[in-house]
Structure 1
């Protein structure tokens, strides 16, 4: 195993435990509420609350990490998540659950910020691509494993909440005992909303649509699967296969993104994805056929965001890339917040299949709006292309901590962001590979 991976094994293990718990919790809550006949709109609201918490947690994380440091911030946040998860076992009131989902989102964002700022600062420039590719692989693996628990334990009882609580309690251990040096003090980077809206509108549109798709998938796909007759164990497989396909797709998508026109890739992705989600929505599929089509959905939907991030960075000067990360976070978070809510309203009115009809409407926006001829290249950065980095579609990106952590020194981060062009997934890891075409 590469030394760059072993060096951060404690942080990777903490991330894995967090994502196992998070993946299991989101699917369990959706299935539990659907089994109890709770209104689909309320289920969508709960999932929206989680993403609202993630976005709001960036501001809370600023202050908390600056005040008490990385390890204490991580410990406090994990404790809050554990208590919030157990709170779901104490009451069945969906209004209280909504508040708890927001709290979980806020606390988990603080945890993400601690882990990623730690990795971002202490990874050597020549290691950073491998370090964050490994980090995102662990993220996907944890999410998929969380779904797999439902396959082994299909009964929807409180034991699932206890497992989630155990995961968040145990994730404290590797962070608390690590001998890694704490990250240095950092400063936040302000967003430049007007600049980004004028320079990268197509990338921002793609990021927003990606948020709508992935937010609605994580939040409402288990409810859809219940509505089409899948058992709980089958739903675990359904979710795990989709997420696993998204993980596998990161490498070939990254390889293509670093060599082809990225706007064209987004357009083709959106066209195929529209067809896939319409087939899922309108064609009665057997369980195996549904798994095949859902895996295709995972391949396409989970690669939209990182391709859009790479496209955006191609057209932004290096000095603005830290601020860009914050802008992309907010844009994705807004999309992910509205996705479950809008999808759940259509499902309530017209049936579970409307979730994927809603997704088709979202992808049609990309088909009509993202056109290669609209990318003039006037704002192309001198050091483009920026290499593709893998993404889990859960507001966790390799540059998130640098953008949102208050302890980032701006000059240092700008140097690190220039170094961060090392390929993250699917691209060659040699630093001297600079012959790729701009996207």
Structure 2
């Protein structure tokens, strides 16, 4: 059997029916493009999440009120953290380099005729180094501001643009809950974190949130939304997590379930990675159905082709072609269709990934494994689904085939 001749005949047959061949390949093209694009977009989402977590601050940990189990059982979070907890962590945990208590809420911000709900964060001077923020203009909150509960604010970059476009905001006054605050600083742009705009915030001294904005709700001290903590270095993170947990359990006199959660960047990133990885796998599996549909389409078209080409098959058998020759002929045609669809689908899928990367924050990420797998699967599907029509063609009796023609 001459393989080169068989391949030439297969190509000639397929190109002789361009429209039918193109429609047959369509399922493979869509399947390959979908699988490659979904995996690439999923990996881009994971990289984006990783970059955003790095922007939270160096070696940062978070202490939040309520246990993970309690959060799963109910949406209501009991405020179990107070400022004294943050002070104790800063004083008694050697693996920690900085502690930034935070109390935050959505409040209407008014300047002139502009009224906009904005996230108001009450915090201390430690916020800047712990969360890796920078001041672009003016100054940040200092210890005197916190001790005196001063009515001053440091605003995010987007707040500065929205309220003071083309104007220096330093020295201007905003109103929060009908109380006037002086703008003393503007933060450098930070970007978004998991959909939350970190530049659309205003920051006030932590004590001011109690004395002016929201009052005191805990009998044990100034309650907090969460505590941001910076470990001394990356190697100190496990020790810091262990020491913080032990200290908090002693302070809260816990003997059973914790009423707080200590989470590291890697913990949160692992959860996000699990979610995005699961969604990527699900979308890729759904897209993979297109490959199966494409394989069925190839089988159907090849079966029709066998019926249409009975005279050709009978004539080839009459002049000496064996069943194996006919079988190989049809198998080559099926594999060529699926492989061509796989290559075109790969090009479309990669183009789609770069298009999404160009119009969204996601980084374009082409997975060589996904490309290899998609093309290999498409070729295998063509081979598998081409067996039935190839066998049917090979079994045709030459005399019956010539008569039926």
With the length of structure 1 as denominator, give the TM-score of the two structures: 0.20
Which structure: greater strand fraction? 2
Find the structure with the greater CA-based Rg: 2
Which structure: greater helix fraction? 1
With the length of structure 2 as denominator, give the TM-score of the two structures: 0.21
